[in-house]
Amino acid sequence: MLYLVIKALISGILIAAASEIAKRYPGFGALIASLPLVSVLGMIWLWSEKPDAENMAAHSGATFWYVLPSLPMFLVIPALLRHGWPFWLALVLGCLLTIVLYSAMTLITPRFGLRL
């Protein structure tokens, strides 16, 4: 249980730091947020709990493929905001787009021999 609390604290601190930095320096905050810190931390936590090279390879490979359908969200949200859409609506639409693209990814990738 203590290990879970430590993982949550470290992960939360990184997210909080990125948002605090973004208040003053939006570009630098975005750089920190775009770093694959969550993925790296996830791999560290996973490896420390289950040091299995094949499992880690599958996890990191799947992470790559799942990043791709999330990228359009970061184009749609700023475009909507710049055209006067309310933040919460732009965020919800960006998230819905990502869900649709994730769903498409899980349906399409097996046809190309990719196991996610």
> Residue ranges per domain, the chain?
1-51, 53-116
Alpha carbon distance 71, 104 (integer Å): 14
Structure tokens that stand for 54 in this block: 């094949």
Q: Name residue, tokens 């609390």.
A: 5
- pLDDT greater than 80 at residue 35: no
Nearby residues of 60 by Cβ (< 8 Å), 6 or more positions away: 39, 43
pLDDT digits (tens, 9 = 90+) for 67-106: 999 999 999 999 999 999 999 999 999 999 999 999 999 9
Tell me the pTM: 0.75
Instruction: Please state, in angstroms and rounded to a whole number, the distance separating the CA atoms of residues 76 and 98.
Output: 10
Q: How far is CA 113 from CA 62, 78, 106, 107, 109, in A?
A: 12, 34, 11, 11, 7
Q: Any idea how long the chain is?
A: 116
Q: Which alpha helices (H) appear in 1-116, and where do they start and end?
A: 2-24, 26-34, 37-49, 53-67, 73-82, 87-108
**pLDDT tens digit sequence for 54-76:** 999 999 998 899 899 999 999 99
Cα 102 to its chain centre, rounded Å, is 12
pLDDT confidence of residue 82: 98
